[in-house]
Amino acid sequence: MVMQIIKFFYRPYLLRIKPWIIRRMGVTLGTNCRVYTPLANLDNIAPRLIRIGDGCCLSRGAVILTHDFSRYGFDRPETKPVTLGNNVFVGKNAIILPGVSIGDNCVVGAGAVVTRDVAANTVCAGNPAAPICTYDEYLRKAAHS
């Protein structure tokens, strides 16, 4: 009986954040999105500046920031919008900084720090994130492995 209760509460789908909660924060969230990251990792200073397209997946620990206190201090943060296109995958512990736009069909590798815009159909990783290959090349490599 105890094992059944434990198995019930540790199902992967229960780790996902419900879309209505994210929308209630002010984030523009597309359809068929999966968010496995705690709400604290989505910007809480200006969540209305986050736009996430259809079919996106944010892995656990992914951070999206729309504010920057370093330029003007704590009195007035600089805020810039962050846009994720359709079918974007953001890997575990990746950080997306303010003002970044990520195109459609992109993969952001685990632990990447995205400081600049990412073109559509691109796979990027690293600190700072740099393009590794195109999305089509990535799919071909994944099919052969």
Residue 10: both structure tokens together: 């540790």
The catalytic residue among 16, 51, 67, 80 is 67
Torsion of CA 81, 38, 86, 117, to 10 degrees: 40
Q: Among 117, 107, 93, which Cα is nearest to 36's?
A: 93
Q: Is residue 67 among the annotated active site residues? A: yes
Which residues carry out catalysis? 67
